[in-house]
Amino acid sequence: MGRKKSAASEPVFDCVSCGACCCNRDQNREIDYDEYVEVVKTDKIRKRPELMEKLTFTNKKGEVHMRLVGVNQRCCALSGRLGESVSCDIYEVRPGVCRRVKAGDEECRKARIERGIDEPPPPKRSKAKASSRRA
Ligand code: SF4
Ligand code: SF4
C-alpha cells in the first residue's frame, strides 16, 4: 500500500490517496456494528431517491446509514484503492458527517493506522528510574 511521507517521515494527510476514514472502524467491527456513516434528514443525498435506494440502508429504528461493503467494510460510495487513489462517488451530496472529517486529527490518524496506511507509533518508553545502592 502506498504510504506518502514527508521528508521528515511524518505522514502526509492526503485524502485522495487515503480513504481510511471511509471504512468502518476496528472498534465497530469487533461488535459487528455497521452503522458507521449516518445519513440524517437534512443531508442533500436525501433528495436523491435513486442514490438513497442504492447506497443506504435503514435500521429498525428508522435511522439511515451508508452501506458498507467488502473486507475493509468500506462505504459503498468510495471508489479506488485504499492508500493509493480514492474518490467519493457522491462527493457533492455526501453526508454531513463526512464533511466534518478533519485530515490529520486524532480520528484520522487512528483510521489510517487501522487500515495500514500509516504505521503505529513506537511504544512510549517509560523513563528509567535511577536505582542505586547507597550506604
Ligand atoms: S483518514 Fe484522514 S487523510 Fe485519510 S481520507 Fe480520512 S481525513 Fe483524509
Ligand atoms: S459518502 Fe463519501 S466521504 Fe462519506 S464515507 Fe462514503 S465515500 Fe467517504
Residue pLDDT, tens place only, 80-101: 999 999 999 999 999 999 999 9
CB of 86 closer than 6 angstroms to any ligand 2 atom: no
Domain ranges of the chain: 15-114
The pLDDT value given to residue 9: 63
Measured between alpha carbons, how far is 128 from 34 in angstroms, rounded to an integer? 43
Contact 35, 59 (CB under 8 A): yes
Q: Tell me, what's the pLDDT at 55? A: 98
The pLDDT assigned to 5 comes to 46
Q: Which three cell numbers stand for residue 60?
A: 429498525
Please answer whether residues 95 and 40 qualify as being in contact, where contact means their C-beta atoms are separated by less than 8 angstroms. Answer: yes
Grid cell, residue 76, equals 459503498
User: How many angstroms is it from 87 CA to the middle of ligand 2?
Assistant: 8
Percent of the chain residues past pLDDT 90, beyond the cut:
79
Tell me, what's the pLDDT at 4? Answer: 46
Q: State the pLDDT at residue 122.
A: 84
Nearest CA to ligand 1 atom 8: 15
Q: Please identify, by atom number, the ligand 1 atom nearest to the C-alpha of residue 15.
A: 8
Centroid of ligand 1 to alpha carbon of 21 (angstroms): 6
